[in-house]
Amino acid sequence: MTNPPLASSFRDPSGFLFVSDNVLYRQVNRVYRPHYDRLMQSGLYEELTAAGRLIPHEETDLKLSGDASLTIKPEPVPFVSYPYEWCFSQLKDAALSTLAIQQAAFRRGLVLKDASVYNIQFHRGAPVLIDTLSFETYEEGRPWVAYRQFCQHFLAPLLLMSRRDVRLSQLLRVHLDGIPLDLASALLPRSTWWSPGVLSHIHLHAKSQRYFADKPRAAARRLRLGRLAFEGLIDGLLSLVKKLRWEPSTRTVGGTAWADYYDNTSYRPSAFAHKKEIVDRLLASLRPATVWDLGANTGVFSRIAAARGAHVVSMDLDPAAVELNYAACRKEGEKGVLPLLLDLANPSAASGWENRERLSLLERGPADTVLALALVHHLAIGNNVPLARLAGFFARAGRRLIVEFVPKEDSQVKRLLATREDVFPGYAEAEFEKAMTGPFVLREKIPVRDSLRTIYLLEKAT
């Protein structure tokens, strides 16, 4: 019996991913075998897996068919995320990791044959190359095949986020093969023409692409690149990427309202402490393996869930909050939290070939437990979502739900209603409970001390 490749695994003739008995495998085709052997025998595999830069795998004795030479079983990544869901520093770290891998490979006579941003996943808190078949034997004189892809997948979005607007990362949702360089060049400020790195890798690169667009490929085949020039190219890209910055601040465009939410919060420290206590107690009893923290802000509750052993996907729509969340995770060495930029009013859609290459958010679930703290009022009042539809969404996202209800009398809701007409007569505790107990069964209801808020534990009705 042969297993079909995953829908996203069809471009590279070196091999493909497939699932058998709920386990993910990667087939290594005969044509790629010499490169795979070189990776394993050169010491590069040990070096990169020890540094946590390459996903470890085991060789299996699974029955081979067709073009197969070997089947490997990579260590599973608990949640697959995409670059349009990453904050600036996540994309930057992924770019730096890709270049560091290229440098390590070069020292052992190999190169990266692709530099796709989708080959990087966040695993145990750090960017990891998940495509074991990305390496090939270096041939003296040959330019870097993956250079164009690196510029489009990493450099262009990073520059746009850093030099124009952090929200431009969303261009990656539309351009799955990276941001076209002519578009990046047009969008970047004129001042970037004075930066030698941006000038050459983006602006002149875009012009060169345009000039050669209708020229025969034979012209490129004669081009040669010496070892030193190759190393210089990678070193130059590395220093350019290292210098890029984006600081979350309330003054930055895009670095907005929520980053300082916990500082400006209206409710008392005692209420916040009690809320933490309640959530921790519930998670300690539930012991979920996976948690989705919806509207996670800077991830305070995500880290509580991670401390209870869960793998937490910590989602927020504010780039600044995600940036701070990621920075805190890196600083604390938190490996169980994956901060992601996600707008629940418009979560990532399925995209790519046949709409099956990149999965939608809900296709990557459900989670064992969903955390929805200080979120319901934003969706129900801020985005006019009826409470029953909200309950329906939660039920698709997870099996259990820890949700906080914030009534109209709370200052946060008052703030939301201050700028608009109150067309939400049904926004009240009783209606909320009624809506939630449609798909869920109520297990616990706990009022938060010194506040008007209530936390509920709900479990899906079976």
* Residue ranges that bind another protein, judged by CB under 8 A: 11-14, 113-114, 116, 139, 142-149, 151, 200-201, 204-205, 208-213, 215, 217, 219-221, 223-226, 228-233, 235-236
Pick 3 or 209: Cβ nearer another protein: 209
Q: Minimum Å distance from CB 37 to another protein? A: 16
Identify the H or E element spanning 17: strand 15-20
Pick 177 or 450: Cβ nearer another protein: 177
Pick 153 or 303: Cβ nearer another protein: 153
Pick 20 or 69: Cβ nearer another protein: 69
Q: Where are the alpha helices (DSSP H) in 298-419?
A: 300-307, 319-332, 376-380, 387-397, 411-418
Query: To 10 degrees, what angle do helices 319-332 and 300-307 make?
Result: 40
Cβ within 8 Å of residue 276, ≥6 positions away: 300, 301, 304
Q: Judge whether 135 and 146 are in contact, CB under 8 Å.
A: no
Q: Where are the alpha helices (DSSP H) in 108-146?
A: none
Pick 220 or 284: Cβ nearer another protein: 220
Q: Compute the distance between CA of residue 103 and CA of residue 230 in angstroms, rounded to an integer.
A: 10
Pick 213 or 430: Cβ nearer another protein: 213
Q: Minimum Å distance from CB 57 to another protein? A: 21
Q: Are strands 440-447 and 454-460 parallel, antiparallel or unpaired?
A: antiparallel
3-state secondary structure of 258: helix
Q: Minimum Å distance from CB 238 to another protein? A: 11
Q: Compute the distance between CA of residue 159 and CA of residue 170 in angstroms, rounded to an integer.
A: 13
Q: Compute the distance between CA of residue 296 and CA of residue 359 in angstroms, rounded to an integer.
A: 21
Q: Minimum Å distance from CB 370 to another protein? A: 38
Q: Minimum Å distance from CB 198 to another protein? A: 12
Q: Minimum Å distance from CB 225 to another protein? A: 5
Q: Minimum Å distance from CB 242 to another protein? A: 14
Q: Compute the distance between CA of residue 146 and CA of residue 153 in angstroms, rounded to an integer.
A: 10
Pick 180 or 439: Cβ nearer another protein: 180
Amino acid at 3: N
Provide the token pair at 35: 């490169």
